Amino acid sequence: MGRTMDLGAARVEITQTCGTLTFPEEVDLSNGEAILEQAERLLDSGIPALIIDLTQCAFCDSNGLNVITRSQMRASRLGVPMWVVLPQRGLVRRVSDVAGLQRRVAIAPDVETARRALDAARR
C-alpha cells in the first residue's frame, strides 16, 4: 500500500506505481500556487505516473486549471503519464469542459479507471 500525506493545500498519496494529488474542496487564487508546487515536487520526485483527482473539489477556477495544465507540461517533459479524474457533474466538470481540458489531458471518471489505464499503458 502507499503512504498518504496532507502536506498543505492538497492530499498526496504515493504508491509504487503512481502519485495521486487530490485537490481540496476549493481551488482558487488562495491555494493554486501551493498545489502547483506540490504537483511539481511530486513529479520531480521520480514517480512513474501522476493522477490528479478532482472528485472532492466543488469549486475550481482558472488557478486550478493552471495547476493541471502546468503539471501536464512538466509531466510530458519528464515522460511521466498523467490522468485527471473529474466528477461526472457539477461546476468543476462544467468549467473543465468549457476550458477544453479534455483536449489537453487524459480524463477518467474515477481513480480506479485512471490506475487501470496507467497499468495497461505500462504493459
Determine what percent of the chain is predicted with pLDDT higher than 70. Answer: 93
Question: Which structural domain, as residue segments, surrounds residue 116?
Answer: 3-122
Question: What digits encode the pLDDT tens for the residues 25-50?
Answer: 999 999 999 999 999 999 999 999 99
Please say whether the beta carbons of 82 and 52 come within 8 A: yes
- Residue 31 has a CB neighbour count (10 Å cut-off) of 19
**What is the reported pLDDT for 9?**
85
Residue 2 has pLDDT above 80, yes or no: no
0.85 surpassed by pTM:
yes
How many structural domains does the chain have? 1
Q: Which residue bears the cell 473529474?
A: 86
Confidence of residue 72 (pLDDT cuts 50, 70, 90): very high
Average pLDDT, the chain: 91
Question: What digits encode the pLDDT tens for the residues 76-107?
Answer: 999 999 999 999 999 999 999 999 999 999 99
CATH (domain of 65): 3.30.750.24
1 Cβ contact partners less than 8 Å away, ≥ 6 residues apart = 15
